[in-house]
Amino acid sequence: MPRFPELPIVDGLSRRQVLRNAGTGFGMLALAGLLGEAASKARAADLSAPGPLAPRAPHFPVKAKRIIFLFMNGAMSQMDTFDYKPQLQKDDGKVGPGGGTLTGSKFKFAQHGETGTWVSELYPNVARHVDKFCFIRGLHTDTPAHPEAVIQLHTGAKLSSQTRPSLGAWLLYGLGTENQDVPGYVTINPPANFGGAVNYGSAFLPAHFQGTKISDVGHVPNLKAQAAATLQRRQIDLVQAMNRDLGATPGAPDQLDGVIASYELAFKMQDKVPDLLDISKEPQAVLDAYGVKPGPAGSFARQCLMARRLSEAGVRFVEVAQPGWDHHTNLHNGLINNARFTDQPTAALLADLEQRGLLDETLVLFGSEFGRQPTSQGADGRDHNITGYPMWLAGAGVKPGFSYGATDEYGLTAVEGRMHTNDLHATLLALMGLDHTRLTYRYAGRDFRLTDVAGEVVKDIFA
């Protein structure tokens, strides 16, 4: 018979009941996917004591410790925002190289900063920070459908049927977390469509590497406990002892480590996370700088401020999302609205990180799953474009005031410094000190990695 440590007895409760009661009220990190398919014991990252989420040394020294991804969900129109094309303006109304009517931007562009970077009038606050930016202007991806492209951006999987670990999960697997009391990977206001939870899941990686979902008002689902803290602690201790005893037996499922770590983290989260996400504790001047306000108009501002607080607390990867960029119609007004929601908070986040000394060790990424066409779609829209579009990075490890790659004179196709999604992933991992060819996990008989069998690190953007 198994022997368990001496623990207070919880009368009248079976193991199943204890599991159910202890789990009630835990965050999604503790509940989702805990009993997924067991993965192989062969792991490229050292997940030994003091725990799988403990900080681990990178493959090589770098400045970046964490990433904040500002995801413009739906495909931002680059030639109306950050990819100025004067020839497109001149040829407005003419037939484009692939057919269709070339349509110049209706928004004015101006040069900003010492670099003279062209930015649309839609982003006056962000434009003040262009000398911090490292633009990647020659991105391209594989499919023009949102679900597949969003999933590929987040997981590297080309097909939506291929469930792979997300970028944040790979980072957490490779580096662990800086703070054992909060999740190492948080996604705020993630889209329910376009792949949903796949975009922040851990797939075949252990469950404790998946992202923790938080709403744009700082609500973590199922975080509040129903049982008193003392009773809950006793229940957890009993269940954990049973799990550890089971884990020591031959043939025990590998995911038990994830169960144990997730329960412990969820218990700690109940005390730490609500305070961490309570942005009302910020000075009014900070709230005003971000443009925090109630309702949908203030959603992105709240997310950006929470992202700063989470990053400051040591969260390895934070993603915030602004939906509504899929402008097949209503392009003009839609861009005005979305830029109004995102301009001030993005600029405030950059300034706040810099003022606190966090930008030197934080990498900020801003962009979409693909871009849009230089030709018109209907009276006021643009269709999808996977052959050339930009993103920008700022902060740790990248050259400030630098542009890599370029699209053609209309912004249709990447013609210089072409960079595939796999290359972007390889480069982001390298900026975090991880060799994408070494960060592997053995599953179903072969080694998997974020970049699969592709990906080249673009060192030209490194500071």
DSSP 357-420: T-GGGEEEEEE-SSEE-SB--SSS---EE-S-EEEEEEETTB-TTEEE-EE-TTSSSEEES-EE
Q: How far apart are CA 213 and CA 203, in angstroms?
A: 15
Numbers of helices and strands, H then E, in the chain: 12, 17
Instruction: Give SS3 for 299.
Output: helix
Q: Can you identify the CATH homologous superfamily of domain 40-220+277-461? A: Alkaline Phosphatase, subunit A (3.40.720.10)
pLDDT tens profile 149-180: 999 999 999 877 789 999 999 999 999 999 98
Tokens representing 63 are 């400045």
Domain positions in the chain:
1-31+232-275, 40-220+277-461
Going by C-alpha positions, the residue among 323, 217, 231 that lies closest to residue 279 is: 217
Instruction: Give SS3 for 447.
Output: strand
Q: Which of 204-213, 229-238, 405-414 has the highest mean pLDDT?
A: 405-414
Going by C-alpha positions, the residue among 323, 337, 294, 287 that lies closest to residue 308 is: 287
Average pLDDT over residues 181-198: 92
Going by C-alpha positions, the residue among 392, 449, 460 that lies closest to residue 425 is: 449
Going by C-alpha positions, the residue among 424, 392, 366, 432 that lies closest to residue 171 is: 432
- Backbone φ/ψ region at 196: left (φ over 0), alpha (ψ -120 to 50), beta: left
pLDDT tens profile 400-437: 999 999 999 999 999 999 999 999 999 999 999 999 99
Q: What is the pTM of this model?
A: 0.84
Q: How far apart are CA 85 and CA 6, in angstroms?
A: 72
